[in-house]
Amino acid sequence: MTAPLLKYGLFGDEFSLVLAFVLGVGFGFCLERAGFGSARKLAAQFYLYDMSVFKVMFTAIVTAMLGVTYLGWIGWLDLNLVYLVPTYLKPQLVGGLVLGVGFVVGGYCPGTSVAALATGRIDAMVYALGIAAGTLAYAEVYPAIKPFVNADAMGQVTLPEVLGLPWGVVVFAVVVIAVLGFWGATKIERWIGSRS
């Protein structure tokens, strides 16, 4: 059995929706259990006294990266078939900043807002309305900003390709950066905590 399971035809599109639902519910459950269903926890990241979001994100990156690398290495996962979001450097930087501002202001990212919505938080409901309004607004201005949205197209690229380094070296470098990041984040938490 080789993954990606869908693209190897183990199941069809319909069943993939069922799987997506199960995985989504599981993801939301974990977010809520980890405390990410609260805007306070998420906003704390930006005030640097609780770096959970940073740690969780980087843990996810390292876990998935090592998993994908090893599964590809032993031949259980065909990396050629894994979909990569195409890179549009400048538009994605701007988009990331817009998302980040929304993250700070609203206290949620899109995923956590849905989890919070499910537990009945009113601020998450307002946030969801904001997502809908923002999506609508984006669709309206899309024709005007289309040239920029499609600028800087780099295709489906990966860090090893861009940096010209072997895959494994990039993997190791990311792990080192992550571990240093965890260490630094804990230091920052203690430092901010001791000041207040």
Partner 1 sequence: MRLPRLTLNQKLGAIALALGAVAIFSQPHRGPFVKLDTRELALVVEEQVDHVTAPELAAWIVEGRADYRLLDLRTAQEYAAYHIPTAENVPLPGLADYPLLRNEKIVLYSEGGIHSAQAWMLLRAQGYEAVYMVLGGLEAWKDEVLFPSLAADANPQQRAQFERAAALAQFFGGQPRSGDAAGAPAATVELPKLTAPPPAAGPATPVGKKKKKEGC
SS (H, E, C) 114-129: HHHHHCCCHHHHHHHH
* Interface region with partner 1, contact rule CB under 8 A, candidates 38-46, 108-116, 141-149, 170-178: 170-178
CB of residue 68 to partner 1, shortest distance in Å: 7
Q: Which of 114, 106, 107, 109 is nearest to 29 (CA)?
A: 114
List the interface residues with partner 1, window 78-97 (CB under 8 A): 78-81, 83, 86
Axis crossing angle, helix 167-195 with helix 52-73, rounded to the nearest 10: 160
Nearest distance, CB of residue 177 and partner 1, angstroms: 10
C-beta closer to partner 1: residue 76 or 105: 76
Q: Of the two residues 23 and 84, which places its CB atom closer to partner 1 in the complex?
A: 84
CA 174 to chain centre: 16
Near partner 1 by CB under 8 A: residue from 93, 152, 169, 190 = 169
CB atoms within 10 A of CB 185: 19
The residue written with tokens 């059995």 in the block is 1
Could you say which of 69, 91, 123, 192 contacts partner 1 (CB under 8 A)?
A: 69
* CA gap 150, 143 in Å, rounded: 11
Cβ atoms 176, 70 nearer than 8 A:
no
Question: Taking the complex as a whole, how short is the minimal distance between the CB of residue 15 and partner 1, in angstroms?
Answer: 15
Contact residues: partner 1, CB under 8 A: 7, 9, 62, 66, 68-73, 77-81, 83, 86, 155-156, 166-169, 171-172, 174-176, 178-179, 182-183
